[in-house]
Structure 1
Amino acid sequence: MNLPRILLPALLLFTLSAPSPAALHAEPKPGRIELPKERMSTPQELAAKAEIVVAGSLEDDTKAYPTGRRVGSRPLIHYVQTFRIRSVLHGTAVSSGRLELLTDGFDPLPLPADPLNLSYTGPLVQGDYVCFLRRVPQTNLYYLAGGWQGLYPLQGTRVIALEKQGGFAAFGGMTLEELKVKLEQLQHP
């Protein structure tokens, strides 16, 4: 019996079927990530838990990733959208000036009166926003700290607080410069 002739094909087969070192350390796929459903009690808590606070625009490039999970009878979908950063109000943002925002929701979207809308943002409408963000561990993705509480549309030069969705009135009506000062005050009372 010639042992090298038997071992060589077996070793070759094992080598070809083993995952690459890069695959062993690959980022989790967006559909497999579990987004936390956290609520912040105060503007101070939101500011403290956000790793970065940025102002910018959501681009129109939503990608959907089924999660394989359901909420009631609805399949849960993760959405990834590109956020173009114009201004960093707190923390250190990525050097490229863009980041990938991960949100979750349903397809089809629930009716506006459905209480699921308070917990799941779904894909966000293209536009200008201030976002309080946290990074998804082991990825290059970010998510809204506190869900809706971490999203503030910009109307002209003013921040709009989505109070019905849990946004903090303390941030509403401010300019970006005023918000930056307020965040500094909240971080260092």
Structure 2
Amino acid sequence: MPEYFNTGKIVATFGLHGEIILLHKTGQADAFKDIRTVFIEEKQHSFIPYFIESNRIRNQEEVYLKLEGIQTKEGAAKLLRKQVYLDEDNFRKIVSPDSVLFYLGFKVADKAAGIIGRVAEVVELPAQLLLKVHQNDTELLIPLNSNTLQQIDKNNKIIHVILPDGLLDVYRK
């Protein structure tokens, strides 16, 4: 099964012919220039492919997309607030190493517990980042700050952390 990475969210419609505005965190204004397909999560874990007819930059974090099969403002409105994903190949091509999205799919390894799981989402908070990691059927929030981050191994896609004693136990009960 292919792996999909969250790239942004549809925040508005534009015009009368079905354009949408995608808010993305790729770190690059022209990130979608060569992308031909996006996947929209219409239902949980159901990724529907949409082919991009055209795109143009709105600003550093937003792009106008015209999707095949969406011809009206009403059709575009049905996609509002939906999450937009890319397949792994396209995702890795466009995401900047300076973007927090770069770490999606990386393994998280604690010094004491070993491999915890893979980063499914990065939650940005004012004081720190939280890595949303799935372990079995449990969702864990791993704080990533100067106290917990030990090293990021970009070659092997592993984030090494030193977690506070008892943090993982909270999720195991």
Work out whether the TM-score is over 0.5.
no
TM-score, structure 2 normalization: 0.28
Determine which structure has the larger strand proportion and give its number. Answer: 2
Determine which structure has the larger helix proportion and give its number. Answer: 1
- Greater C-alpha radius of gyration: 1
